[in-house]
Chains A and B, each alone.
Chain A
Amino acid sequence: MINLTINGKKITAPEGSTILEAARANGIDIPTLCYDKAVEIYGACGLCVVEAEGIPKLLRSCSAKVMEGMAVHTESERVVQSRKIAMELLMSAHDGDCVAPCQLNCPARTDCQGYVGLIANGEYDAAIKLIKNKIPLPASIGRVCPHPCEKACRRKNVEEPINIAQLKAFAADIDLNNESYLPDLMVRSGKKVAVIGGGPAGLTAAYYLNIMGHSVTVYDMMDKMGGMLRYGIPQYRLPKEVLDKEISIIEKSGVKLVNNVKLGRDFTINSLKEENDAVIVAVGAWQSSSMRTPGEELNGVYGGIDFLRAVIQGNAPDIGEKVVICGGGNTAMDACRTAVRLGAKEVYVVYRRTRNEMPADKLEIDEAEEEGVIYKFLTNPISFNGEDGRVRSITLQIMELGEPDASGRRRPVPVEGKTEELEVDSVILAIGQKLVQGDVSELKLNERGNIEADTDFFTTDIDGVFAIGDATNRGASIAIEAIGEADRCAKAVDAYLNDQPLDTRVPYISKRDEKTIDYSDREKCDRINPKVLPAEVRNKSFDEVSLGFTEEEAKAEASRCLECGCREYYKCKLLKVAQRYDIDPDRFKGEMPQKYTRDENAFIERNTAKCILCGLCVRSCREVMDIHAIGLMGRGFKTDISPAFALPLDQTKCNNCGLCVQLCPTGALTEKANLVKQVPLCEEFVRQQIEINGEKASVLVSRYNGKVLRVIPDDELSRSMQLSREELLEMLD
């Protein structure tokens, strides 16, 4: 035995063993991407380098042997710098998306590609579980979300984005209409958490904290839970029956819901803090913003959310025949379409820019127009004029578009001296909403007048009191934003309750350069939208406009997904090493060595753009299997791995053993799953015995949500039999 130290720790290792082997045997992790026991030492990746005292060069620990008295350092500054640069270089030439852009653009990081793919495969049960990892109210959110995911969806570059939001609603409706999914709860912690506000933020935080083992009670001032989802969104967009069902699942999962209690009247933040281990303030923004236009105080001028709430509560005001809505967002759309449904004859939307700049969802803008709404673009109210205290007309300033502003949209500027007078019966100001500050006087507010909460930990100036959602920091935003915050806040509160540190570092992931993506090989396939009630029917009723997807439509729409995110995301060794150090590959941004292409056969998909040239595939094919189906080609930066003579894999001696795929540390080689549409999923791998011609053989079986996705040969016998994946699947049964 040889005596040495690694990072100051005294260890012994058998003579002839490598530093890497000695370190691993002693629980010291040294990263490597090209080493595997199955094949000869290669030394390409250079990540396993270590420093040994008295030796000037860095040693590749995969090959350097232990020596008596050696003092090895595996994480010294020089070692870390070498690995960091190696990873930065490697990732600068690794052309792939770890995660799809839809997921990255979702404020809640919902695995859109995952559930869309599962829906395409008819795996609705698995889809809802995946969605509920991030959103506890998917049927509601699917209906109302302005879907940032779809804005990022790359299918838009072929024709139109995938209808992600509606697919979510589709999967969630199936769940609601059947035995609904209830999450498994963790062991009870005995800790109590109070949540003030039962809107999307509060309910979400409560749902996840309950799953994490804490006892959570949600307090809300209204007579029912749901917050703005209930009181700010019209029935025709989100039927309250759907919301009720989703909230009841949250309640069923163990969250206590208390209504008709109000902060400041029935309790204070501090009083709740005394009774609980943590308090989350999620009170929302329930006050309509003013336009600071003369005449706003006149009768017949309503705040947008006030108007919507009144209608929902059955107290619709008398708005008359001519109604003007000011604003271009989704609340303006909700207000104008509600006004139409209340029977107004002429409904105008006054907006200071043009249709293209409207922040509202395009579908909403179109559907409102179909229902008879009249847009008055490039107009801005400069006064509301009244008679006897009631509004009678608006004076509009005519605008034109000037230079782009900070948001990239062209700035509207008044056309000198040009105005227009519009006669009205009522006006609805849908230009924003804000926190009712008096409710949260116990907390420190920021200069915008919102609660100041830490953006990572959601802490406020009172210990143990957290704040999220519309009431905080930058103010009101969309529901999914609040849900994302709530999910992260739940983790922060959990860490706080368990007195654990919380890693808020955003881990590195690889993203493709959008400018370099080629869509020319993608066949066009139109986006499917769920059918809607005819305009002349729906503008007279509050029935839900969308009829939802049929199963056939949903599957077809989900199948359009381009599968941007990498299927090997969950077991990518490359990514793990990339995330180990704080790397910035953009420093070395440059040409990509290989074109992003997918070469596939019945069971393997090859993408050399993701290849890191560790050589494990080539070496295992040669050294273990003695098949030589693939090899290295070219030199320098353009070195590539390719089947012999650049033939398709099917025309080589490849026997589908799958060893290369198993050893590939990243997504350059992927084995297809037993699915119609391929999806990146966090599979569970189990080693299992099968019988081949009366002999026992070993296979690796991957499952997701109980379904077998892949069966991979895992010993000499199973690899040598040239078995198709179908045959292997059968043998498992």
Chain B
Amino acid sequence: MRIVIGQGSCGIAAGAEKIRKALTEQSIGCDISITGCIGMCWLEPIVDIYDDDNALTRLVRVSENDAQAVAEYVETGDKSKVEKLIVTDEDSQFLSKQTRIALRNCGIINPELIEEYTEKGGYTALKKALGMTPEEVIEIIKTSGLAGRGGAGFPTWFKWNAARQSAGEEKYLICNADEGDPGAFMDRAVIESDPHNLIEGMLIGAYAIGAKHAVVYVRAEYPLAIKRLKNAIRQATENGVIGEDIFGSGFSCDFTIKAGAGAFVCGEETALIESLEGHRGMPRLKPPFPAQSGFWRKPSNINNVETFANVAWIINNGGEAFAAMGTEGSKGTKVFAVTGKVKRSGLVEIPMGKTLRDVIFDIGGGMKTDKPFKAVQMGGPSGGCIPASLIDTVIDYKALGATGAIMGSGGMVVMDESTCMVGMAKFFLDFTAKESCGKCIHCRIGTKRMLEMLERITKGEGREGDIELLEELCYSIKDGALCGLGQTAPNPVLTTIKYFRNEYEAHIKDKKCPAGECSDLIEYKIAADKCRGCTLCARNCPVGAIGGTVKQPHVIDTTKCIKCGKCYTVCKFGAVVKE
């Protein structure tokens, strides 16, 4: 038997390292190792136990107190010891219904050992690619239909080819690992869980465009990813995968990491280049595109982590195999980070062409509470929301774009009826407004003014004409902003207006928040017929706003009430109501 503990950042945050120590102290006579992110966030920490036939028993929500039980199970093989920890069949379907290419090794191999990667066929694609001409490599990528997974979905081969065609000896291949969308963590998972897959994809890309330098721009908030990537680079260098004359092919490439200081805009490729050069992260005007003039004004190609994570698989399995999955315009698989009010949250990789319903209900298990599904925010702050009525939308760049949302980097925030859509738009806009680099007027001032309007609306100070003014500003910002950050910032507002205009109107005209989320627009009351006079609410009220005698209906003094919602949460009889 061997024990493998899921130690992505998420697992560690949930206590995986404590469990590892506790298990080590149990001095079990078997190998205890780690793996990266399995992708089942809601079940962390996860401990996988493989028997000698390599059959897996997956233990979930394990705590350090379970160490002894785990040890007993490993020693005796008696499953009853860990019965309550074993993952349910239903939960297992979260993984079994996925098709994993970019995440194929995640949660399986030890990300800190190159051997485990090579055992899984690692670096064979690189060898294979180095045996071809760069043009042949690009052709395979073209056949695969791989498109940029960072958000824009631009055909990868086209960018590679443009950089290849650009004149100049010095070229750069850059990986954008500045994953900044709130709620998106697939890039981190790939680096933490399978760093060599990224390195291999990048080296193939570097070979294809003729770059001798590969750079990973990774956000400094990902220390574990940086640590594992550095370790992987060292191992790859020691194994002759990185460096001079790789595999005797005559192709040489060095590899560096740059830790970004956390500005969201540095995920925009020209701002990323500015930051790489040591300047303030602000986008450059395009044209010229990086393929002509990028890092140090040399031809450069920039792809996202997930894009590179598909490359080695494509080379090994052929472009056709990748293109066989998906739809007419969107090929292969896509990883989604599913979060929010969904039962099973985590990383989901599925072929293009599946529907949102497949992801949210079939794989994600539907809603966490009994409140009905309301909408899903796709693509983070640059994306848009898709309402329940469009739940059967196919996952495809074009189909998602038609709803007003975007595929984006794969963030999926699931919302139920308790989410205020104006508040949701405000949340994302607050993010983009703060993360605007400040360079262009439309983004710097426009997003701020939109945010002020939304703040006004959610406070009940909305004015007649605000919706129209918001729309006018949205379209103008989309048209006038310098880079993708600004051009997409209005999307959450535009889509919520499109699908939930009545909610905006309720805030503005009736001064009501239908979802009951905007504290300025709601009032807590106690329904006398339901109140049993248990005094629990009164005892929990932090401002003493609830009065009443035992066994008699209580009353909230609305002048004192600070709308913290404590009474609403503690009442066991549903007597506290929001109005």
Contact = CB atoms under 8 A, between A and B. Distances in A.
Interface of A: 41-46, 49, 57-58, 60, 62-65, 78, 81-82, 85-86, 89-90, 92-93, 587-588, 590-591, 593, 612-613, 615, 631-632, 634-639
Given A43-B285, A590-B452, A591-B452, A93 B438 contact: no
Contacts of A631: 280
Contact of A591 (B439, B447, B448): B448
Contacts of B482: 43-44, 46, 60
A64 B287 CA distance: 7
Interface string B423-445: 00000000001111111111011
A60 B452 contact: no
B318 to A, nearest CB: 35
A58 B479 contact: yes
A587 B469 contact: yes
A2 B445 CA distance: 37
Interface in B280-328: 280, 282, 284-285, 287
Contacts of A93: 445, 448
The 3 closest A-B pairs by CB, nearest first: A639-B438, A43-B285, A637-B448
A81 B282 CA distance: 25
B434 A44 contact: no
B437 A639 contact: yes
A82 B440 contact: no
A88 to B, nearest CB: 9
Contacts of B223: none
B472 interface: yes
B287 A63 contact: yes
A588 B449 contact: yes
A636 B433 contact: yes
A41 B285 contact: yes
A636 B473 CA distance: 17
Contact of A89 (B284, B287, B433, B446): B446
A90 B445 contact: yes
Greatest chain B CB density within 10 A among A44, A78, A636 is at: A636
Nearest to A641: B438
Contacts of B285: 41-43, 60, 62-63
Greatest chain B CB density within 10 A among A45, A46, A65 is at: A46
Nearest to B448: A637
Contacts of A92: 445, 449
B480 A86 contact: yes
A44 B440 contact: yes
B90 to A, nearest CB: 44
Given A58-B479, A63-B285, A81-B476, A636 B442 contact: no
Nearest to B473: A85
Contacts of B440: 43-46
Given A587-B469, A637-B438, 7 more contacts: A41-B285, A81-B476, A89-B446, A90-B441, A635-B263, A635-B438, A639-B436
Contacts of A85: 442, 446, 472-473, 476, 480
A494 B74 CA distance: 104
14 contacts: A43-B285, A46-B440, A46-B481, A81-B476, A82-B476, A86-B476, A93-B445, A590-B452, A613-B439, A635-B263, A636-B447, A637-B436, A637-B447, A637-B448
A90 B443 CA distance: 11
Contacts of B481: 46
Greatest chain A CB density within 10 A among B284, B287, B438 is at: B438
Interface in B459-499: 469, 472-473, 476, 479-482
Contacts of A45: 440-441
A636 B434 CA distance: 5
Interface of B: 263, 280, 282, 284-285, 287, 433-442, 444-449, 452, 469, 472-473, 476, 479-482
A65 to B, nearest CB: 8
A636 to B, nearest CB: 4
Contacts of A590: 448-449, 452
A31 B153 CA distance: 34
Contacts of A639: 436-438, 444
A78 B480 CA distance: 10
A591 B442 CA distance: 16
Contacts of B445: 89-90, 92-93, 588, 593, 637
Nearest to A82: B480
Greatest chain B CB density within 10 A among A49, A591, A612, A637 is at: A637
B260 to A, nearest CB: 14
A49 B478 CA distance: 13
A213 B249 CA distance: 88
A631 to B, nearest CB: 8
B441 A634 contact: no
Greatest chain B CB density within 10 A among A90, A587, A590 is at: A590
Nearest to B452: A590
A65 B287 CA distance: 9
A42 B280 CA distance: 13
Contacts of B473: 85, 588
Nearest to A64: B287
Contacts of A81: 476
A44 B439 contact: yes
A186 B444 CA distance: 49
A535 to B, nearest CB: 55
B452 A46 contact: no
A58 B481 CA distance: 10
Contacts of B436: 635-637, 639
A95 B447 CA distance: 18
A387 B431 CA distance: 85
B442 A86 contact: yes
Contacts of A60: 285, 482
B475 to A, nearest CB: 9
Contacts of B480: 46, 49, 58, 82, 85-86
A136 to B, nearest CB: 44
Contacts of B442: 46, 85-86, 89
A306 to B, nearest CB: 54
A89 B280 contact: no
Contact of B438 (A43, A62, A65, A636): A636
Nearest to B286: A63
Contacts of A65: 287
A615 B482 CA distance: 15
Given A46-B482, A85-B473, A85-B480, A635 B439 contact: no
Contacts of A89: 441-442, 445-446, 449
Nearest to B476: A85
A613 B472 contact: no
A86 B469 CA distance: 14
Given A43-B482, A92-B449, A637 B439 contact: no
Nearest to B465: A587
Nearest to A46: B480
A535 B480 CA distance: 68
Given A590-B449, A632-B280, A46 B441 contact: yes
A373 B381 CA distance: 73
A46 to B, nearest CB: 5
B388 to A, nearest CB: 32
B476 to A, nearest CB: 4
Contacts of B434: 635-636
Given A78-B479, A85-B472, A635 B449 contact: no
Nearest to A84: B476
A18 to B, nearest CB: 11
B494 to A, nearest CB: 15
A641 to B, nearest CB: 10
A632 B287 CA distance: 24
A57 B287 CA distance: 13
Contacts of B282: 632
A705 to B, nearest CB: 38
B489 to A, nearest CB: 11
B439 to A, nearest CB: 5
Greatest chain A CB density within 10 A among B434, B473, B476 is at: B476
Greatest chain A CB density within 10 A among B282, B439, B445, B473 is at: B445
